[in-house]
Structure formats: C-alpha cells, structure tokens
Amino acid sequence: MTLGWQVLPEFRVVQHQRDEVVLHQIRSFFGFGKVTKNHGDRKEFRVRGSKNLNQLVAFFRCNKLRTPSKQVAFETFSKIVEIMDKGNHLTTEGLHEIAVLASKMN
C-alpha cells in the first residue's frame, strides 16, 4: 500500500440460496474458494488470492464463457490478474491501468 491503494481482485458466482448446492459443486470442482452469504437470499462462491485466481484464468481461457458480456468481463479481469502477477499494481501507472480496466467491469 505504498501508493495508498490496495488491489484485491476476486472472482464471484452468485446464486439464489435455493441453488447453493451448485456453488458447492463449483467449489468442489476447483478445490478452492469459499461459499458464503452474499446479500439477502443469495449465496456466492468467491475466490481470492493470486494462485487460485491464476488457476481460474487458465481454466476459462480453455473453457470460454457462453455469453459475450461475461467473456469480455473475464478478459478484462484476466488482464488485471496479469498486471498484478508482474507486480505492476505496485506502480502508479499499473494502478491507473487497473482502475481504468476495473471501471469497465460490472
């Protein structure tokens, strides 16, 4: 946090609580992540940490998402993970690039 900002990317899949079993199946498939309460009657599968996020990026590079908007969001997310892997999030330029990319995501 030498620049006064901290970048904490995370991957989330949100479902209604009646479909919580799907989130646990996803967690079991990948072998990492957490299933937690999201908001109201929703639950989420959440992944943080560079090692696990890189595994997700590799998986979705081989297994494309089905909707164009989700694929575009994934590509943006993977660029942010790549910037962080290189350590560029610790520079003013890298932090600015991440902010621009993140502003384009939902």
Q: CATH classification of 10-102, choosing from 3.40.50.620, 3.10.28.10, 3.60.150.10, 3.40.630.30?
A: 3.10.28.10
Give the pLDDT confidence of 45-81 residue by residue, as tens digits: 999 999 999 999 999 999 999 999 999 999 999 999 9
Instruction: Report residue 86 as tokens.
Output: 């290189």
| Domain range list for the chain | 10-102
Strands (E) in the chain, as ranges, are 10-16, 34-37, 42-48
pTM confidence score: 0.87
CA distance 87 to 82: 9
Give the pLDDT confidence of 15-48 residue by residue, as tens digits: 999 999 999 999 999 999 999 999 999 999 999 9
Q: In angstroms, how far is the first alpha carbon of the chain from the final one? A: 25
